[in-house]
Amino acid sequence: MKISVIVPVYNMEKRLDQCLNSLENQTLKEIEIILINDGSTDNSLDIIEKHIKRYPNKYVLINRENKGISASRNEGIKIASSSYIAFVDSDDYVDLDMYYRMYNEILKTKSDIVLCGYKNVDETGQILSYNYLDKYKISTLKENPKLVHQIDYGPCNKLFRKDLFKNIEFPLNTKYEDLSTILKIYKKATKVSYINECFYNYYVNTSGQTKTIDIKVYDIYKILDEILNSFKNENIAIKKEIDYLCISKLMDYSEIISASRNEKLSVKFYLDAVEYLNKNIKKWKKIYIFNNNNTIKKFVLKFIQINKNINLIHLKNKSKRS
């Protein structure tokens, strides 16, 4: 097989048929489809078995108890028989010539990673938006450290050389697992290329349900620890961008939480974020507020301003308790 496509499956009976149909009918025929049924309790396994019966030579199935998407991806990587691997989420689907185009591009350019754009689609298949790559300069981190901020950290619009994942796994039982993993992969890559077409179809739930903010948001600190540790011996230019990335992520989540109604969590996350930065990027205020990079200066000032009200609430409440 030329490509192994890893598909974690958990309770996806409504969208699984479309996903598997799009893989079975690829114009590139030499594809191994690795399904990790992650303890599904709906009819997902029945759907899987129906597809395997039709195309027994295309599929590898692992049935096991629920361990999460990271464990599924890690297991799929270990058993993949091809030199190149890809990932598809089981509620998404791909264009029929995606892997033919991606595979030929990775061979032609002798790249470690090939990317494509993706489409956001709703439950009917209507295209909500296109996400092209032409606005980014695709290169390696050593060539362009600022790529840290431009990388699309989702693994599913990419084709990877499998050996990039040697000694690298998706972290278990953790949110934001893609962030540290894809960064580590990019650090190892010596050549990255892209096709500026949208082959991957990412399902967007438009039902109006909103995500709730819970304590799992604290997983970002585990991920940032992994990133800082992985890049601690890199050159100054890359380390500077990694520091900036850490501040960026903490600002993003602080802003999201501060807009929620969970005041207690908002206050705690802000104070912990500042403590984390003081501990791990000790000169972050001096470096990022007073340097000559106006973009970074504005960014950090925005970080502080966003959380100013939360800090005032905390101090006010502390004063009342005194």
Q: How far apart are CA 6 and CA 71, in angstroms?
A: 12
Tell me: pLDDT of 137 over 80. Answer: no
The tens digit of pLDDT for each residue in 258-294 reads: 777 777 787 788 888 888 988 998 777 665 554 445 5
**pLDDT classification of 224: cutoffs 50, 70, 90:** very high
Specify which of 89-103, 255-269, 287-301 reaches the highest per-range mean pLDDT: 89-103
Please give the pLDDT value at position 111: 95
* Helical spans, DSSP H, in 136-283: 177-188, 219-230, 236-258, 263-280
Q: How far apart are CA 147 and CA 238, in angstroms?
A: 9
Please give the pLDDT value at position 282: 77
209 CB neighbour count, 10 Å cutoff: 7
Tell me: pLDDT of 25 over 70. Answer: yes
Tell me: pLDDT of 124 over 70. Answer: yes
Residue that wins the pLDDT comparison between 138 and 25: 25
Number of H helices, E strands in the chain: 10, 9
Tell me: pLDDT of 242 over 60. Answer: yes
Q: How far apart are CA 152 and CA 297, in angstroms?
A: 24
Residue that wins the pLDDT comparison between 62 and 205: 62
Burial 167-193 (b: 16+ CB within 10 A, else e): ebbbbeebebbbbbbbbbbbbbbebbb
36 CB neighbour count, 10 Å cutoff: 25
Please give the single-letter amino acid code of residue 250: L
Residue that wins the pLDDT comparison between 141 and 309: 141
Q: How many residues does the chain have?
A: 322
Which of 262, 167, 248, 151 is closest to 213 using CA atoms?
262
Mean pLDDT across 228-244: 92
Strands 192-203, 113-121: pairing is parallel
Residue that wins the pLDDT comparison between 259 and 96: 96
The tens digit of pLDDT for each residue in 27-42 reads: 999 999 999 999 999 9
Q: How far apart are CA 99 and CA 104, in angstroms?
A: 8
Please give the pLDDT value at position 292: 47
Please give the pLDDT value at position 309: 54
Tell me: pLDDT of 192 over 80. Answer: yes
**pLDDT classification of 256: cutoffs 50, 70, 90:** confident
Lowest mean pLDDT, pick from 10-24, 105-119, 143-157? 143-157
% of residues, the chain, pLDDT over 90: 64
pTM of the model: 0.88
Please give the single-letter amino acid code of residue 104: N
Per-domain boundaries in the chain: 3-203, 215-321
Q: Where are the beta strands (DSSP E) in the chain?
A: 3-9, 31-38, 59-64, 84-87, 93-94, 113-121, 127-131, 158-161, 192-203
Lowest mean pLDDT, pick from 99-108, 264-273, 306-315? 306-315
Beta bridge partners of 202: 120
Mean pLDDT across 159-167: 97
Average pLDDT value for the chain: 87
Please give the pLDDT value at position 288: 56
**pLDDT classification of 17: cutoffs 50, 70, 90:** very high
- Pick one of 1.10.8.50, 2.40.50.140, 3.40.50.1100, 3.90.550.10 as the CATH number of 3-203: 3.90.550.10
